Structure 1
Amino acid sequence: MLVHICCSVDSHFFLQKLQRDYPGEKLTGFFYDPNIHPYSEYQLRFLDVQRSCKILGIDLIEGEYDFEAWMIAVRGLENEPEKGARCEVCFDKRFDVSAKKALDLGETKVTTTLLVSPLKSQEQLKRSGDAFYEKYGVEFIAVDYRSGGGTQDQSRVTKEQMLYRQDYCGCIFGLTMQRDQQGRLMDEMFSCVSNKILPASIEERVEMYRDRMQLEDKKVEYKIIKEKFLNYRQFSFKVISGKSEIVPAYALSYSTLPRKKAQGNIEFEFENIHYFSREEIRFVTLEFFNSTCGYEYKTINELIFNQPNINEELKFRNTLTSTNYDLTLIVIIEKIPKTKLTIMLDAKTYEDVREKLIII
């Protein structure tokens, strides 16, 4: 039996039940989910599915990540709600590819772990599955492992196995609507031009889940815990000298500007820190940044495209300020300007939760 897999939270519990109910069947997992976006989220979910299938002793095949073809398939349905017409088209596409994969492998049965997801309509899935049974002759196994306390049992298994519990279905349209309804920043879609790993980002989770697989290979005991913290994302930053000259500059992480724009001059310098006339803004030279941190950046552009990690930036911030909760805009610049400056910064701090790996 070919089992289409969407994520480890659904698949681990679902595959365990299939192994119990179909002991004579060789189960083969098929991870085909071009709807998942961004690609880093796809990598994270596939990574956890690989671990799950390894634990259960199930062969796993990865399908093509043909995201552009998926986008074309759902065109015009971008604003459909969860369980609406877009989801049905999404199921059809994945069933079509899964059914053809089953035929290629000589399988006569196919099913999907989407059946156990409380976010999906089982009736919708059955309609798609039955349609492809008629078309291809591949039987769709429509099992119900949600009823009779199944969802609660699935939650228990997820916690016991420390599976990656994503908080959105997967596609960009569902994510956008969900974050709008929650009034939350859609920080899954942010990444630095330098590929610096941001706090509580998908990339940070990918690294952590890879580390935990290495610990498991070495038989090292660990736990995954959660911690609440103040997160930060910077959308844009610009320093303008005079009326129009753009000055290369870098805003340190956790820099904020209440009204997003300030104009003024640098008034004085004390211990290599240059103080601006407005909004508690401070300037330091690239030379001072290098000498304090042991870096060798030659230009601000080099710094922008090869940023230090967040912990190093916070360490430098702490050398300039008197509190761990400082949100002052700190600007790194090659030379201190003597002209009038216009500073524009759009950034956000917000409460967030991140996962952390601890060895016990």
Structure 2
Amino acid sequence: MLVHICCSVDSHFFLQKLQRDYPDEKLTGFFYDPNIHPYSEYQLRFLDVQRSCKMLGIDLLEGEYDFEAWMIAVRGLENEPEKGARCEVCFDKRFDVSAKKALELGETKVTTTLLVSPLKSQEQLKRSGDIFYEKYGVEFIAVDYRAGGGTQDQSRVTKEEQLYRQDYCGCVFGLTMQRDQQERLMDEMFSPISNQTLPASIEERLQMYRFRMELEDKNTEYKIIKEKFLNYRQFSFKLISGKSEIIPAYALTYSTLTRKKAQGRVEFESKNIHYFNREEIRFVTLEFFNSTCGFEYKTINELIFNQPNLNDELKFRNTLTYTNYDLSPIIVVDDIPQTKLTIILDAKTYEDVREKLIII
């Protein structure tokens, strides 16, 4: 039997049940999910599915990540709600590819772990499965493992096995609507051009879950916990001279402005820190930044496109402010401007939760 897999949270419990109910079937997992966005999230979910299938002794195949083809398939359905027409088209595309993969492998049965997801309509899935049974002759096994406390058992298994528990279905349209309803920043879509790993980002989780695989290979015990913290995202930043010229500049992480704009001049200097006369803004030279942190940046543009590790930025901020709670803009420039300046900084701090791995 070919089992289409969407994520480890659904698949681990689902595959355990299939192994019990179909002991004579050789199960083959097929991870085909071009709807998942961004690609880093796709990588993270596939990584955890690989771990899950290895634990259960199930062979796993990976389908093509043909995201552009999926986008074309759901065009015009971007604003459909969860369990609506977009989801049905999404199922159809994934069933079509899964059924063809089953035929290619000589399988006569196919099913999907989407059946166990409380976010999906089982009737919708069954309709799609029956259509492809008639079309390809591949039987769709529509099991219901939600009933009889199944959803609670699934949650228990997820916690016991420390599976990656994503908090959105997968597609960018569902994510957009979900974050709008929650009035939350859609920070999953943030990825700096420098590839700096941001706190509580998908990339940070991906690094952590890769590390956990290394620990398991060494039989090292660990726990994954959650912690609350103050997160930060910077949308845009510009430093403009009185002559309306853009001055190359870099605003450190956790730099914020109340009204997103400030005008004034650098007023005085103390211990290589140059103080602006508005909004608690501070300027430092790239030379001072390099010497304090041990960096060798030659230009501000190099700094912008190759940002340091976030922890190194925070250490530098702490040396200037002597506190972990400072949100003042700290701006790095080649030379301290001696003219009137306009600072435009759009950034947001917000309460957030992230996962943390603890070695026991």
- TM-score class, shorter: over 0.9
1:322 Cα offset (Å) = 2.9
For residues 219 and 319 of structure 1, the distance between their equivalents in structure 2, rounded to whole angstroms, comes to 39
2:138 counterpart residue number? 138
For residues 36 and 125 of structure 1, the distance between their equivalents in structure 2, rounded to whole angstroms, comes to 18
1:173 is the counterpart of 2:173: yes
1:94-152 per-residue CA deviation (whole Å, 9 max, x = no partner) reads 00000000000000000000000000000000000000000000000000000100000
For residues 263 and 8 of structure 1, the distance between their equivalents in structure 2, rounded to whole angstroms, comes to 51
For residues 104 and 289 of structure 1, the distance between their equivalents in structure 2, rounded to whole angstroms, comes to 59
Q: Percent identity?
A: 88
For residues 281 and 319 of structure 1, the distance between their equivalents in structure 2, rounded to whole angstroms, comes to 15
Could you say what secondary structure the match of 1:346 adopts? strand
1:116 counterpart residue number? 116
1:302-332 per-residue CA deviation (whole Å, 9 max, x = no partner) reads 1111111111000000000032100000000
Q: TM-score scaled by structure 2? A: 1.00
For residues 188 and 239 of structure 1, the distance between their equivalents in structure 2, rounded to whole angstroms, comes to 27
Could you say what secondary structure the match of 2:177 adopts? helix
Paired residue type of 2:133: Y
1:89 counterpart residue number? 89
Q: TM-score scaled by structure 1? A: 1.00
Could you say what secondary structure the match of 1:86 adopts? helix
Equivalent residues in 2 for 1:177-216, closer than 5 Å: 177-216=177-216
Could you say what secondary structure the match of 2:353 adopts? strand
1:243 Cα offset (Å) = 3.1
1:239 counterpart residue number? 239
2:29 counterpart residue number? 29
Paired residue type of 1:236: S
For residues 113 and 121 of structure 2, the distance between their equivalents in structure 1, rounded to whole angstroms, comes to 12
2:307 counterpart residue number? 307
1:261-299 per-residue CA deviation (whole Å, 9 max, x = no partner) reads 000000100111001011110000000001111111110
Equivalent residues in 2 for 1:58-69, closer than 5 Å: 58-69=58-69
2:254 counterpart residue number? 254
For residues 354 and 276 of structure 1, the distance between their equivalents in structure 2, rounded to whole angstroms, comes to 34
For residues 224 and 303 of structure 1, the distance between their equivalents in structure 2, rounded to whole angstroms, comes to 33
Paired residue type of 1:244: S
For residues 321 and 169 of structure 2, the distance between their equivalents in structure 1, rounded to whole angstroms, comes to 42
For residues 243 and 345 of structure 1, the distance between their equivalents in structure 2, rounded to whole angstroms, comes to 19
1:48 counterpart residue number? 48
2:75 counterpart residue number? 75
1:293 is the counterpart of 2:293: yes
1:26-60 per-residue CA deviation (whole Å, 9 max, x = no partner) reads 00000000000000000000000000000000000
1:105 is the counterpart of 2:136: no
Could you say what secondary structure the match of 1:169 adopts? coil
For residues 267 and 242 of structure 1, the distance between their equivalents in structure 2, rounded to whole angstroms, comes to 15
Paired residue type of 1:260: K
Paired residue type of 2:300: I
Paired residue type of 1:94: R
1:13 counterpart residue number? 13
Aligned residues: 360
Unaligned runs of 5+ in 1: none
RMSD: 0.4
